[in-house]
Amino acid sequence: MDGGTKLDLKYRLSFGGPTIAQTRLGQVVNTFVGRDVIDASSMAGQYRFIVDFTGAHLDQLKADAPLAAAISSHEGTTILEHQLERVDATGFWRLSILAQAAADTLLALRSSLNIDGRQLTEVWSYELEANNPLRRNE
């Protein structure tokens, strides 16, 4: 196919319900993304990711359980801080990540929750492209 040639495609995309994976792992139920704007000048290019996990073995854990987040990032993404806590009102385990990437690079993160190296949740993955409207005016 030569450059500039028009190509028309037809396809169907289907999604299943939340239980389609039939896994015994906890699942991500919410993801929130935004800028930390407390001190906008020093926080330029920094984004807060809030991820809620629930289900399976997570629901049986107490707030003081030794649950840990395994977080990795794409080259060029820096994880500045993170914290994990149980939200009593919902029973969710909430992971908060503050991350940063250069204005012209992909900001990409992955995480799962574990105890003693044993994975208890599915892997959450998020990519925030450099040209995303949220990243304007960095």
β-strands 77-86, 93-101: how paired? Answer: antiparallel
Residue 123: CA count within 13 A, CB half-sphere? 8
Residue 116 has pLDDT above 60, yes or no: yes
- In this structure, are strands 107-115 and 118-119 parallel, antiparallel, or unpaired? antiparallel
Q: What is the mean pLDDT of residues 20-32?
A: 88
Which residue ranges make up each domain of the chain?
A: 27-133
Lowest mean pLDDT among 4-18, 50-64, 68-82: 4-18
Which CATH class, in words, describes the domain spanning 27-133? mainly beta
Residue 18 has pLDDT above 70, yes or no: no
Give yes or no for residue 9 having a pLDDT over 70.
Answer: yes
Alpha helices in the chain (DSSP H): none
Q: What CA–CA distance (Å, rounded) separates 129 from 107?
A: 6
Q: Residue 10: what pLDDT?
A: 81
Tokens of 134: 């949220």
